[in-house]
A and B are shown apart, each in its own frame.
Chain A
Amino acid sequence: MKKISEGRTGHTEVEESVGTKAPGAGFSGIGKPADSNAQSEQSSGEERWTAEETGAVKEDEYREETVCAGSGEVPDGNEPVVLIKGVHKAFKDHPVLKGVDLHVNKGENLVVLGKSGSGKSVLIKCLVGLETPDEGELCVFGHDVSSLNYKELNETRVRIGFLFQNSALYDSMTVRENLAFPLRRHKKNMSKERRETLIEEMLDNVGLPDVIDQMPSELSGGQNKRIGLARTLILRPELMLYDEPTTGLDTGTSKEISELIHSLQKKYNISSIMITHDMPSARITADRIVMLKEGVVVAEGTYAELEKSDDEWIKSFFA
């Protein structure tokens, strides 16, 4: 088993070796080359962040019936990280999703565009088990989320990062405690020094190394978003879900956050789904765009392709 590299220089090395990451190994396999890994294993003692800890090798712990039908038919290496088939969801008598089909490939950022109330947020909440679909299949890493039990769902959740619309930072904790919280829960053997190093690295990554001891209430909206992003990325997810990450921010900050999301995603080779109706943000981050209208996918393509569309409804987004 491998572990991630240590120290502030670790991420540079992560970037270099990201292409060699084994499928399904999450971030456990990234970092230094084999020799370096051996060296740091010797120097760090129990400070290990193994594939086992990320949940990536716990595949055998899932029950067989949770495996998505047809997921094995896709050729190896091209299997989508997320596969959504015919998902329906209604709240009382009000249908929100009416048979949504979409997929996300490895390392791809899919932007879901749509007007308020079109079911975008409900769709990604279904992916992490915060909402349950009435019908359809939601396959994440080859397993149907709605058929997972609580333990299996948590194994899957560890591999997914979710950035909420309002960041959802724990307001009774400092920035340091917010970032340490998921590490304390999921990396119980990690030393305090290693944890502190990771927190500092992550704050450096989002450009806020000086706010470490501040409370979320002392930060601006943009800073809160950055800290929320850092907290989500600290567990090295394989899939990121962004729920309107630029809502409520001014144009400049919104652009900064979008560029940050884009650069971190390419750096860590994360697959992601971004819910937004912010077109400049979609242009910066999207590899592919899916447009949702009244709970149904009505268009799909790259930003450039959709921009040229003759459809009035689609054109209204690009105007």
Chain B
Amino acid sequence: MQQPTPPYQKARISVTQKKSEIKKWLYGAGDLVTFSGRFFREVFNPPYEWKEIFYQCYLVGYKSTFLIGLTGFIMGMVLTIQSRPSMAAFGAVSMIPGMVTVSLVREIGPVITALICSGNIGSRMGAELGSMRVTEQIDAMEVSAIDPYRFLVVTRVLATTLMIPLLAIFSDAIGLVGGYVAMNIHDSTSIRHFFVAGLAHLEFVDVFPAIIKSFFFGFVVGIIGCYKGFHASRGTESVGKAANSAVIAASLAVFVIDMLAAQITDLL
């Protein structure tokens, strides 16, 4: 008969497992840094895959406009509707356009866009490259002396880095329209007045850091999606895992960057 494992031994096994998990996580993080570093070496090294870059920009940018626009519109509406009672209590209803505009441009627009893109684009890239790894398409590129990193990763990361800031600006604009529509539920204001009053509150420190952080959001969404897909292990299960972990890791990275950006902006 098998003897039960003593409690001290169970604790020792648990500690060993935790150590091994931490070690694995650290190796993974180091690997991701190396993977990202390679992007900067390759991106400035011609020839460029222009056709593929434009195609990926089309997929990331144009194909996401409806989703981003709809989300931005809803966020603008919700922000206006939720803030109105508090603002009305202080007799500051006229400040709503300014508050909504600053909130959208500084924070909500870029962050919501990046999170939607993590789910939409990050998972697509993770699944697509993971599937290519499993079906040996990446190996087929390598043995044909075609660098899969340049063709698959550089193009995709470049597309997300360039397109997500544009999508964030688009989301801000549609969000303001949503805010204007919500404002007109209780009050009556012209679109010109709403936009002029809103934009009058925007300063350089509201716009510039938001655009800069959107580039970082775009980069992490692309690089994490590609990294997870590129390193999928052999097996169909790993494709789902790659897509899932790409979304989780990219979303987490977006929040971490946002927190760092908030701290840095605070110093300005």
Contact = CB atoms under 8 A, between A and B. Distances in A.
Does A associate with B in a complex?
yes
A172 B143 CA distance: 19
Given A164-B136, A168-B135, A170-B137, A128 B146 contact: no
B146 A162 contact: no
A154 interface: yes
Contact of B144 (A166, A171, A182): A182
A182 B151 CA distance: 12
A130 B144 contact: no
A160 B140 CA distance: 12
B145 A130 contact: no
B206 interface: no
Interface in A160-197: 160, 162, 164-166, 168-172, 181-182, 185-186
Contact of B143 (A160, A169, A171, A181): A160
Interface string B139-164: 11011111000000000000000000
B135 A171 contact: yes
Contacts of A166: 135-136
A255 interface: no
A169 B136 CA distance: 9
Is chain A's binding surface mostly helix, strand, loop or mixed?
loop
A165 B128 CA distance: 20
B140 A164 contact: yes
A171 B137 contact: yes
A157 interface: yes
A155 B140 CA distance: 15
B140 to A, nearest CB: 4
Q: Assign chain A's interface to a size class.
A: 20 to 34
B139 A157 contact: no
A169 B137 CA distance: 6
B139 A158 contact: no
B135 A157 contact: no
B139 A164 contact: yes
B145 A157 contact: yes
Nearest to A164: B136
A155 B144 CA distance: 10
Contacts of B136: 164-166, 168
Interface in A90-148: 128-130
Contact of B140 (A168, A172, A185): A168
A275 interface: no
A168 B145 contact: no
Contacts of A165: 136
Contacts of A128: 142-143
B52 to A, nearest CB: 11
Interface of B: 128, 131-132, 135-137, 139-140, 142-146
25 contacts: A128-B142, A130-B139, A130-B143, A157-B143, A157-B145, A158-B144, A158-B145, A160-B143, A162-B143, A162-B144, A164-B136, A165-B136, A166-B135, A166-B136, A168-B136, A168-B137, A168-B139, A168-B140, A169-B137, A171-B131, A171-B137, A172-B128, A186-B144, A186-B145, A235-B144
Nearest first, the 4 closest Cβ-Cβ pairs linking A and B are: A168-B140, A154-B145, A157-B145, A168-B136
